[in-house]
């Protein structure tokens, strides 16, 4: 099955309209895991290349499985290099998510590497999956530039201090709040509901609203999920496949013992 042409555009459109999209980080190289998530009704997955040993040839197969279940695929890259961005987009992912950024100039470079001319300098060939291996629609370049989702993390002191300028970067789509890293960077506890991380998180959300960016956040329980809904944060990432599996097996072991 070739890449579903509507996945990229519909995902981005849903986010832009504020429709909550439920995702999770995927760390396990397992088609069955991705199928389970798709059958359960997740809207998207973030394939995690930052905190795993996943390689691009494995990620490409994971994207194929997600496509079969009409799930959008974001790839959390190990870095913001041109090579990493190009490979992730060429293999047909819905978009990219770049961690550990510091300032607006870095984000501008990420956008430039992600977009074809005239919006950027992404290298061009039609011999890859995103371009249907040469069975390429006439509007491919325009569609890729329009539909690809670009997300960055706000999780470092530098990114937090520069969040207003980062949110002003044209063609950046999603500003993702990483509560755990952000709390460590700022020397605060990780409670963004009513703890001392709440104010920094709302500063980021407000910066998104002022600049028409899509806010995103990691959640791990119902209270955090409802926080995201209440504050119109549509890009919602509930834990990870590893954490969800651990919770399930822990509950069984507690019951048995």
The pLDDT tens digits for 16-44 are 999 999 999 999 999 999 999 999 999 99
Catalytic residue numbers, as ranges: 51
| Lowest-confidence pick of 1-10, 29-38, 198-207 | 1-10
Q: Tell me the residue length of the chain.
A: 257
Q: Which tokens is 66 given? A: 């997600």
Domain of residue 66 covers: 5-256
Question: What is the per-residue pLDDT for 68?
Answer: 96
* % of the chain residues with pLDDT over 70: 98
Residue 129 φ/ψ, nearest 5 degrees: -65, -40
Residue 3, pLDDT > 80, answer no
pLDDT in tens, 109-144: 999 999 999 999 999 999 999 999 999 999 999 999
**Local confidence band at 4 (pLDDT 50, 70, 90 cut-offs):** low
Backbone conformation region of residue 81, classed left if phi is above 0, alpha if psi is from -120 to 50, else beta: beta
| Lowest-confidence pick of 3-7, 17-21, 155-159 | 3-7
pLDDT in tens, 42-72: 999 999 999 999 999 999 999 999 999 999 9
Residue 89, pLDDT > 70, answer yes
Q: Which tokens is 18 given? A: 């504020």
Measured between alpha carbons, how far is 115 from 6 in angstroms, rounded to an integer?
19
Question: What is the per-residue pLDDT for 2?
Answer: 46
How many other CB atoms are there within 10 angstroms of residue 197's CB atom? 20
> Per-residue pLDDT averaged across 176-202, rounded?
97
Angle made by CA atoms 124, 153, 116, in degrees to the nearest 5: 15
Give the chain's domain count: 1
Question: What is the per-residue pLDDT for 6?
Answer: 79
**Local confidence band at 246 (pLDDT 50, 70, 90 cut-offs):** very high
Q: For residue 237, what are the CA distances in angstroms to 137, 172, 178, 228, 233?
A: 32, 18, 10, 10, 10
The mean pLDDT of the chain is 96
Which pTM value belongs to this model? 0.96
Residue 1, pLDDT > 50, answer no
Q: What is the CATH number of the domain that holds 77?
A: 3.20.20.60
Render the burial of 58-87: b for 16+ CB within 10 Å, e for the rest: ebbebbbbbbebebbbbbbbbebebebbbb
Question: What is the per-residue pLDDT for 7?
Answer: 86
Question: What is the per-residue pLDDT for 146?
Answer: 96
């Amino acid at each position: 099955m070739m890449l579903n042409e509507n996945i990229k555009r519909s995902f981005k459109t849903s986010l832009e309209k504020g429709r909550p999209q439920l995702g999770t980080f995927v760390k396990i190289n397992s088609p069955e895991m991705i199928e389970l998530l798709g059958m359960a009704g997740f809207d998207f997955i973030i394939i995690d290349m930052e905190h795993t040993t996943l390689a691009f040839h494995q990620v490409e197969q994971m994207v194929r499985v997600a496509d079969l279940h009409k799930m959008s695929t974001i790839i959390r890259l190990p870095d913001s290099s041109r090579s990493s961005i190009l490979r992730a987009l060429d293999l047909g992912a819905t978009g990219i998510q770049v961690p550990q950024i510091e300032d607006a100039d870095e984000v501008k470079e990420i956008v430039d590497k992600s977009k074809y001319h005239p919006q950027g300098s992404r290298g061009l060939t039609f011999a890859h999956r995103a371009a249907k291996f040469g069975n390429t629609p006439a509007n491919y370049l325009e569609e890729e530039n329009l539909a690809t989702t670009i997300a960055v993390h706000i999780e470092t002191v530098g990114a937090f201090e520069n969040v207003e300028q980062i949110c002003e970067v044209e063609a950046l789509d999603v500003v993702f709040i990483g509560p755990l890293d952000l709390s460590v960077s700022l020397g605060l506890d990780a409670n963004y509901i009513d703890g001392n991380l709440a104010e920094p998180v709302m500063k980021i959300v407000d910066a998104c609203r002022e600049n028409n960016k899509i806010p995103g956040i990691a959640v791990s329980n119902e209270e955090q999920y409802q926080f995201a809904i209440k504050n119109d944060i549509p890009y919602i990432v509930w834990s990870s496949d590893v954490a969800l599996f651990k919770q399930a097996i822990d509950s069984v072991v507690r019951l048995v013992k």
